[in-house]
């Protein structure tokens, strides 16, 4: 994570205007694809997989909001791109997996683990493919979107940015952060949680019922499509007073309540809950600490706050000017 963040942010020059969405995507695509595929010779393939994600996510969103088998067959651009990228991803991944199988080395990465775990499956190739696509889709855009929202929020809340910077400077003393610094960055993690509360990348989550469900006055039949929205639930003023306000301190050990924790669905809930929550928060903490300790990013041009909705809740185009780090 530290190396990937340094590779991306190392090229930013003072005065340069960066496309923040693109840069955060570069960081998280590198981190997730490298955790998945660490073999040096397979890195270009890992990068290709990450690049296919936006088209796949767009296609999935429309399949989610228009359930049924008819929509995917209509030759719309969104469906054609989705089909093309799925084929392309499949082909790339098949090549990497055959390479891993023939070299028989355990590369110590996630793909080696997935290959071993899927050996007993009815169709191991398909099982590996499904797992890898799920991990890439779950890991890249979500963390990137969270980082973009966070950088926007601290820009419009200078006192929070200043406190964050003081924590980062105190913990790191100028060196790059890594996982051993996490315990010394509690406020940074509160800022991340509050960002996910206000702008949960998974703003809407769907389930299909496998059995009839009854409660007090309610009933949902088996086979129904059910949606719930963390974005809406996170704006309930009961657990989250002044819900539209960005208040990282609501997650401090002194202030956080059990009701608040229960009302937080930023990583989903139940059996299909995010498996990468700790990974994602670790990655975001390292990225934020590294960025703040080296650079000050400020909005360049007009700022619109309206989220872009699709499968994920994405930030609108965000351009920021890179400045040297300000003193804490
Ligand atoms: C801030 C970052 C992240 C956010 C906000 C986030 C959010 C979510 C949400 C809302 C879900 C759906 C849960 C549900 O259906 O109940 C999910 C699922 C998932 N996430 Fe994350 N995620 C993040 C980072 C990651 C990372 C870094 C990875 C992997 C490296 C990851 C892997 C997954 C996977 C594999 C699933 C599917 C789990 C399943 O269906 O069993 N996520 N995530």
275 CA → ligand 1 middle, Å: 6
pLDDT at 303: 81
Which atom in ligand 1 lies closest to the alpha carbon of residue 207?
Answer: 15
- CATH code, domain carrying 212: 1.10.630.10
Nearest partner of 135 among 21, 275, 272, 27, judged by Cα: 275
Residue 140 Cα to ligand 1 middle (Å): 10
Is residue 190 included in any domain, yes or no? Answer: yes
CA distance 1 to 189: 16
- Nearest of 234, 230, 231, 209 to residue 220 by alpha carbon: 209
The residues near 15 (Cβ < 8 Å, ≥ 6 apart) are 321, 322, 323
Using CA atoms, how far apart are residues 1 and 146, in angstroms rounded to an integer? 16
For residue 325, tell me if it sits in a domain: no
CA neighbor of 20 nearest in space, from 147, 138, 143, 136: 147
Residue to probe by mutation, ligand 1, list 150, 267, 271, 313, most atoms within 8 Å of CB: 267
The protein residue with its alpha carbon nearest to ligand 1, atom 2, reads 143
The range of the structural domain enclosing residue 206 comes to 2-319
Of 29, 142, 278, the one to substitute when testing ligand 1's pocket (max ligand atoms within 8 A of C-beta) is 142
Return the structure tokens found at 291: 């960025």
In a domain, 75, yes or no: yes
Cα 197 to ligand 1 centre (Å): 15
For ligand 1, the distance from its centroid to the CA atom of residue 138, given in whole angstroms, is: 5
Ligand 1 centroid–CA 28 distance in Å is: 13
Measured at the CA of 154, the angle between CA 311 and CA 160, to 5 degrees, comes to 135
What averages of pLDDT result for each successive group of 10 residues across the chain (328 residues)? 94 94 91 88 82 82 82 91 91 88 81 92 91 88 96 96 96 91 97 98 92 92 94 97 97 96 94 94 97 93 83 91 83
- Sequence-distant (6+) residues with CB within 8 A of 237 are 243
Alpha helices in the chain (DSSP H): 2-9, 20-36, 43-51, 53-65, 77-103, 110-117, 124-156, 158-172, 186-198, 230-233, 258-262, 277-294
How many other CB atoms sit within 10 Å of the CB of residue 275?
Answer: 14
Per-residue model confidence (pLDDT) at position 328: 65
Residue 328 placed within a domain: no
Number of domains in the chain: 1
Indicate whether 230 belongs to any domain.
yes
- The closest-lying atom of ligand 1 relative to the alpha carbon of residue 36 is 30
The answer to whether residue 326 sits within a structural domain is no
- The best mutation among 35, 49, 56, 138 to test binding of ligand 1, ranked by most ligand atoms within 8 Å of the C-beta, falls on 138
Please give the distance, rounded to the nearest whole angstrom, from the Cα atom of residue 280 to the centre of ligand 1. Answer: 9
Could you give the CA distance from residue 238 to residue 254 in angstroms, rounded to a whole number?
Answer: 18
Distance 273 CA to ligand 1 centre (A): 7
Q: Find the 282 Cα to ligand 1 centroid distance in Å.
A: 14
The pocket around ligand 1, CB under 6 angstroms, is made up of 32, 134-135, 138-139, 142-143, 146, 196, 200-202, 205, 266-270, 272-276, 279-280, 284
Within-domain flag for 324:
no
Q: Which sign does the torsion angle of CA 276, 250, 196, 159 carry?
A: negative
DSSP 270-282: GGG--S-HHHHHH
Q: Which ligand 1 atom lies nearest to the CA of residue 196?
A: 5
For the CA of 205, the closest atom of ligand 1 is: 15
């Amino acid at each position: 994570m530290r190396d990937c963040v340094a590779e991306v942010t190392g090229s930013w020059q003072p005065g340069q205007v960066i496309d923040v969405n693109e840069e955060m995507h570069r960081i998280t695509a590198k981190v997730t694809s490298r955790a998945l595929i660490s073999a040096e010779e397979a890195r270009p393939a890992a990068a290709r997989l990450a690049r296919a994600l936006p088209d796949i996510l767009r296609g999935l969103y429309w399949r989610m909001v228009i359930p049924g088998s008819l929509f995917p067959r209509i030759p719309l651009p969104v469906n054609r791109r989705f089909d093309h990228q799925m084929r392309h991803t499949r082909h790339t991944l098949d090549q990497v997996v055959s390479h891993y199988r023939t070299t028989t080395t355990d590369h110590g990465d996630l793909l080696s683990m997935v290959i071993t775990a899927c050996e007993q499956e009815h169709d191991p190739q398909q099982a590996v493919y499904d797992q890898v696509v799920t991990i890439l889709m779950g890991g890249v855009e979500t963390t990137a979107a969270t980082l973009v929202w966070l950088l926007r929020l601290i820009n419009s809340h200078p006192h929070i940015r200043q406190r964050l910077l003081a924590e980062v400077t105190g913990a790191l003393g100028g060196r790059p952060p890594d996982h051993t610094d996490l315990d010394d960055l509690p406020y940074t993690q509160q800022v991340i949680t509050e960002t996910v509360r206000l702008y949960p990348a998974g703003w809407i989550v769907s389930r299909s019922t496998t059995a009839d469900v009854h409660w007090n006055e309610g009933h949902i039949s088996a086979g129904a499509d059910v949606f719930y929205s963390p974005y809406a639930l996170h704006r309930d003023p009961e657990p989250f007073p002044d819900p539209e306000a960005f208040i990282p301190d609501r997650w401090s050990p002194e202030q956080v309540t059990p009701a608040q924790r229960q009302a937080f669905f930023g990583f989903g809930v139940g059996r299909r809950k995010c498996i990468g929550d700790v990974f994602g928060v670790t990655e975001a903490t390292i990225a934020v600490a590294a960025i703040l300790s080296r650079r000050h990013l400020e909005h360049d041009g007009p700022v619109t706050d309206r989220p872009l909705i699709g499968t994920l809740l994405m930030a609108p185009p965000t351009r920021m000017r890179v400045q040297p780090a300000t003193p804490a």
